[in-house]
Structure 1
Amino acid sequence: MSASSLPQGGLPAAAAPVAPKVETPFRRFVSEFFESKSAILGLVVFVSAVLIALFAPLIAPQNPYDLAQLDIMDGRMEPGTVGGAGFTYWLGTDDQGRDMLSGIMYGLRISLMVGVGSAIIACVVGASLGLLAAYAGGRTDSIIMRLVDLQLSFPSILAALMILAFLGKGVFNVVLALVIVEWAYYARTVRGTALVERRREYIEAAQCLALPTHRIIFRHLLPNCMPPLIVVGTMQIARAIALEATLSFLGLGVPITEPSLGLLISNGYEYMLSGKYWISFYPGIALLVTIVSINLVGDHLRDVLNPRLKK
């Protein structure tokens, strides 16, 4: 090293210290979530199902509910058969000549819309009541939790059947029935977490500052109840999709003009014994794959967001 390259003191300048990279909670969550290959697979499958449902009118080979595109003479054709108009039915057709591949794409739209929509509404209702019960306590807590106990004492499918028997078919009625049978799970989960958080110092500090009650509940208490709420919400989406399929299979779900995967399965049930398996089989596989993918994501979310379950 030449003298001209040295600083005035004659010694080389020390390298500037590199600041350690700060790992935010979000980055930690993302890194831990993507450590699981099953969770990644479930997320990819679920996102693919959502995209297929959203863009079904653009990518489906046929609009299965446009009567002008249906040919009754192509009814119950086997998978891979070419129809009378030269159209290839890759997954076969049902008794109305409806392309099963297109029917599954359109059926996913109704199943996901009902499942996700009912889960979100039930989450809002249940979480609000759970937070109110935990924060208010006393008689308010007792009334809300007795309603929760009453709701949970009935099997969900039985309660939904009774509600739809009174309200009738329809997408809105199915969503309403699912909200009624699901909100109690969110309320109980949020109340349990909120009771612990309510005794924390930050809640006492907010109360000492005389902050409005709604601000304490929704700005301070709710964010700390989100991890278990996210896990329960993920599981309830899969449960809502399965419940809707069951109700539609039994004939009390969505109308035939807006069929979901459950109704598609029901349409082919009577043809199973005659060997026309594809009418029910392929919608059933699509339903199974969708529910399993959501459960894979939910299971890993539970492990990541609950420190006691981490290995």
Structure 2
Amino acid sequence: MRNNRLILLLGVLLVLVCVFFMRYNTNGNWDFVLPFRGKKLLLLLLIAYTIGISTLLFQTLTNNPILTPSILGFDSLYLLVQSLLVFLFGGIGFTQLNIAGKFAFETILMLLGALLLFRTLTKNNNDLARMILVGIIFGVLFRSLNNLLQRMIDPNEFAIAQGSSFANFNTINVTLLWISTAITLISAFWIWRQRFKLDILLLGRDRAIGLGLEYHQFSRHLLICCAFLVSLSTALVGPILFLGLLVCAITNAISPTMHHSYRIPMTFIISAITLVSGQFLFEQVMKMQGVLSVVIEFVGGLVFIYLMLKRAK
């Protein structure tokens, strides 16, 4: 009962935040406000789910509360692609690229990179540790290549490539939004059906195998799902490194149980409250005098340092 009351309370809080986000300072202009804010709200909820749940799945698989899928180098690959496109087509050509084609290209490229990375997995005991190490190495390589390209780009066009380093929640393409929503709903249905297997996986590799879980196959499926969610969110708004870590840290701190039947909806709700309330503050209170993703990265970085120090202690 206590678990249900906590989720219900968080759900009510999320509904209130969403209603406040939609209704505040509308001045009766519902014809403009509802479609505009509705699309932005849907985007925020979509990003909240993809980032929060992908981090939760990755931490369950690795059994480590300080790791996120971004450690595998997805954000670095995304930034490298942006700089490469600016370098090849120029600033004007970059802004005139077909949005749907660019989105599909970035998503497929990051997925292919993830699949190549997952080929390092075998049935040895140190599969995940080796894969994470390979991901870190390639992430450093991609960042180095990105820095090299940015030094070769025309200084007048550097700002365009630099702007891709921050997540942008204000540019919304309706077609991409609906496609991403459909894909996310399908993944949410699959993840929810695997919630009991995730509970078993949280016990560790050896115990999970002993309880009859097909560890090698299931871990590959989870990694592909994580890669797909991260690729989707990164291609939609840009890289967000520490949102998932921040949200999962809050979930682990307040959740009275480790069962994924509660942790999955709780992670999504906390992530959605964080994004929607944060975007509201930056839009209506601070009048866009700042970038939400920068604040999230700063707070998430502090949480990461705290978790590292706590783990070492």
Greater share of helix: 2
Superposition TM-score, scaled by structure 1 size: 0.30
Work out which of the two has the higher radius of gyration on C-alpha atoms and give 1 or 2. 1
Superposition TM-score, scaled by structure 2 size: 0.30
